[in-house]
Chains A and B, each alone.
Chain A
């Protein structure tokens, strides 16, 4: 705000677009090098390589239906990987993201079933709970200054325990009751878990959400003040504060954004399977973080993109399903992922170092 006030005089005289003068000590770096410096380029090449590899190794992958399955698998990871990536660029982690998905689904399911309410009441309540969990995480991290690793590890354990305990208490079972006959279920399913027919192939709606959210996140990150602040609080929190960036707001809202992601994926699971297994979600948080890191986000914050994690999540879906389509033992999935993660991190490191050297 204070900006616009001071900006006016300078704006009246935009510099003439004359020939660029330089001090002659630097030269323009080649286009290829500048491209490689983008955070998402490494993972794009990696994803393309994995895709080509399975196209050759597993012929069923070439089928449109298989691709739809792969994209669906990728989208359920990818939707969560986006806010997790933004949070990581903002310099923080959220280890509770995996179980928070289940917490959200359990809230919606049990609330509407036990009180015989329209499922939309449960859906809204779940959103509020997810936002509250995100706010708690963010508030604790900002106010105590503790590493988010510790704070969210605590939240992770709390939620994991509460998911099981509360579900057993309410339903005397480890899963919630089937809500498919409840009011509003069909409508909610249409929004969170329907499919589209594209050229004879059934594509899950989450794939579209995934791509739309990714486009939105990219725009926010690169074209808005808030996006600028995300990079700043992750890159150097103290500097950001000193020049007037609202660090507390930015960090807490990022945690709450992860809450929104958890809510969305939780609703998708609920309206796909009608019931929720209370013990699920453990370990998923690391998958999201891995997708973000493979996607070129710097673990220490301040660097990354929203497109990178899209390719990161696609690599996950591709490998996960590709192994099945290739007829290999699916036990190898995690091992494959580990190799991929290390490879991606090393490539990113090498790419960034060689591209920023001048």
Chain B
């Protein structure tokens, strides 16, 4: 890490390979974000490695959105460190993040519904030809490339001119992922990509997450579905009320434990105790607090329990 800091003076060297095979591309150290006096995120540490899927789980309002907004450049962190390739950074626009190879596929997919598929694919990074006064879009090349990239992802559209709003949710999700992969993303942030999808379409999207990982991308997979996370994840971070409740590698945690942490972990055990006093509620299947063996991450233990 320290070695990296001395080699990249914040300059964007476009074709420099990632510094060191083992180092994380993106790293958060005790990062946090406050909106005025509201602390949305606190003491979060996260590392994203190339070729690994880092899953961030959490209930609504846990701080998942704030976390990705910091990494994608929409917001700035107010505490802790945010490092890319070992260098501390502070993005002021999403363009900064894109230039560092961090691409985000937003929950609303960042598409313009009335625009054709191929225009959406290249939006903000259009191919052009010709000298300045007559510099124009290279439409044939863009359409051919978009078609090819989508086919590589297994998406076959008969008409790239159709407005992207007429595609199904899963198709749009895949177009957005294909776009991010094509534009040279090193880190792909997926904001609840499976949230609005059916079972089959979710499977397709998970397949693309695995495909992106196999191409050597670091993937941050935000979800509130532990089953989806466990299918592709290498590392799991559970957020709760803006702090880290769990940070564990795949080897350290089972799906069951993950689900329990996701559902509230220790709190759920207390709830079980309360529910056991209500007649007719069978709580035998629920775990006790002692059963949660996976390491509790980040925040000091005392804070976690209070």
Contact = CB atoms under 8 A, between A and B. Distances in A.
Interface of A: 2-7, 10-11, 13-15, 20-23, 26, 28, 219, 223-225, 227-229, 231-232, 235-236, 238-245, 298, 302-303, 356, 358
Contact of A11 (B115, B126, B145): B145
24 contacts: A2-B125, A2-B184, A3-B126, A5-B14, A7-B145, A14-B148, A15-B147, A22-B158, A219-B136, A224-B136, A225-B135, A225-B137, A235-B112, A235-B115, A236-B110, A236-B111, A239-B106, A239-B111, A240-B112, A241-B94, A242-B104, A244-B95, A244-B124, A302-B112
Contacts of B108: 238-239
Given A223-B137, A225-B126, A6 B148 contact: no
B151 A15 contact: yes
A10 B183 contact: no
Contact of B144 (A14, A26, A228): A14
Contacts of B119: 228, 231
Nearest to A245: B124
Contact of B115 (A20, A231, A241, A244): A231
A228 B137 contact: yes
B124 A243 contact: yes
A298 to B, nearest CB: 8
B156 interface: yes
Contact of A3 (B127, B135, B136, B158): B127
A22 B156 contact: yes
Contacts of B255: none
Interface string B6-33: 0000000010000000000000000000
B14 A15 contact: no
Contacts of A241: 93-94
B175 interface: no
Contacts of B139: 223
A10 B112 contact: no
B184 A235 contact: no
B216 to A, nearest CB: 14
Interface string B223-244: 0000000000000000000000
For B122, B124, B127, B147, the residue with the greatest tally of chain A CB atoms inside 10 Å of its CB is B124
Closest 4 CB pairs of A and B: A3-B125, A244-B124, A235-B112, A6-B184
Given A4-B127, A239-B110, A242-B94, A232 B184 contact: no
Contact of A245 (B14, B114, B123, B166): B123
Nearest to B98: A244
For A5, A219, A232, A243, the residue with the greatest tally of chain B CB atoms inside 10 Å of its CB is A243
A235 B113 contact: yes
Contacts of B276: none
A287 to B, nearest CB: 26
Contacts of B124: 229, 232, 240, 243-245
Contact of B182 (A10, A219, A229, A242): A10
A20 B128 CA distance: 26
Contacts of B114: 231, 235, 298, 302-303
Given A225-B137, A242-B74, A243-B124, A232 B148 contact: no
Contacts of B151: 15
Contacts of A235: 112-115
A15 B126 contact: no
B251 interface: no
A63 B128 CA distance: 46
B188 to A, nearest CB: 14
Contact of B183 (A2, A245, A302): A2
Contacts of B158: 20, 22-23, 26, 28
A25 B129 CA distance: 35
Interface in B241-296: none
B203 interface: no
Nearest to A22: B158
A6 B112 contact: no
A34 B136 CA distance: 25
B149 interface: yes
A6 to B, nearest CB: 4
Contacts of A303: 114
A3 B141 CA distance: 13
A241 B99 CA distance: 14
A51 to B, nearest CB: 30
B163 interface: yes
Contacts of A26: 158-159
B112 to A, nearest CB: 4
Given A15-B144, A223-B137, A232-B124, 4 more contacts: A2-B98, A239-B109, A242-B74, A302-B115
A356 B163 contact: yes
